[in-house]
Amino acid sequence: MDFLPIISQVVGALWYFIPLAILAAIIKSPWFKGLMGEFIVNLSAKWLLDKKQYHLIKNVTLPSEDGTTQIDHIIISIFGVFVVETKNMKGWIFGNPKQRTWTQKIYKHSSKFQNPLHQNYKHVKTLESLLGLNEKQIHSVVVFVGDSTFKTEMPENVTYGVGYAKYIKSKREPVLTEYEVNEITRTIESRRLAPSFQTNSEHVKHVRNIVAEKEKHNIPNCPRCGGSMVLRETKRGQNIGKKFWGCTRFPQCRGIANIT
């Protein structure tokens, strides 16, 4: 019996399924999920926010004190600068503003992820420093997209789907002038790193190096902003000489942690 035709058919079928398997792997990857989440927010912003009042800048990589920071969306208006962090996730989401990590639960499987409010805190502080803004002029916003459900009460700036636009439009007190809005937009555009594959890959490498260094030396994340910490020593008072972990962004961030 000649098996060659059968083998040819099997090989042909495999070649048909290989591209589908690659496509399925790409769709399930964190990179693609992040890309789709950002696309949904970008598209809905154009539909729901008046372009004459709100200026959208997306995928912004800025230099920071310890390397670079990457911001999904910045929306600028006379009502403030809105720094938007996007999470494309499914399942049940558990967390509160003070927790270092939140929990994602899909059926019986649970996994931890960084508190997105802490993650966005660094973005906010970087922009405050760059633009000379105060806390009343800049707002942190977290938006979840995908098939996810909040199972704990969330603050008003943690939203689902197009709810982020409702939160942004709820701010009606002008805190910036039209001139300041234009200057802020110009400054961000001029200071951002050029969007490219190289910029993104270098930022990812930078983040991985920070994580590896923390794990190597057992360095905790800042409980307030989720950023890096360094060993400090109390200079006065009854605890003089006592060592503790302090945020590298001090005095902008005053997060501390005890040595364990």
When pLDDT is averaged across residues 213-240 and rounded to a whole number, the result is 73
Residue 100: count of CB within 10 angstroms of its CB: 16
Decide if 255 contacts 218 (C-beta within 8 A). no
What average pLDDT does the chain have?
80
Sheet holding 55-64, edge to edge: 55-64, 67-77, 80-88, 138-145, 158-160
| pLDDT tens sequence across 178-225 | 999 999 999 999 989 876 555 556 545 554 555 555 555 677 778 777
What are the structural domain ranges in the chain? 27-199, 218-260
Q: What is the DSSP letter of 226?
A: -
pLDDT digits (tens, 9 = 90+) for 89-125: 999 999 999 888 999 999 889 999 989 999 899 899 8
- Cα–Cα distance measured from residue 116 to residue 87, given in angstroms and rounded to the nearest whole number: 8
Tokens of 160: 């689902």
The model's confidence at residue 170, banded by pLDDT at 50, 70 and 90, is: very high
Half-sphere exposure of 15 (CA within 13 A, CB side): 6
Output the pTM of the full model.
Answer: 0.70
Low-confidence winner among 35-49, 57-71, 129-143 (lowest mean pLDDT)? 35-49
Tokens 């001029």 sit at which residue? Answer: 190
Q: How far is CA 8 from CA 41, 149, 205, in A?
A: 46, 48, 43
Q: Given 1.10.3470, 2.40.350, 2.60.40, 2.20.25, which CATH number is that of 218-260?
A: 2.20.25
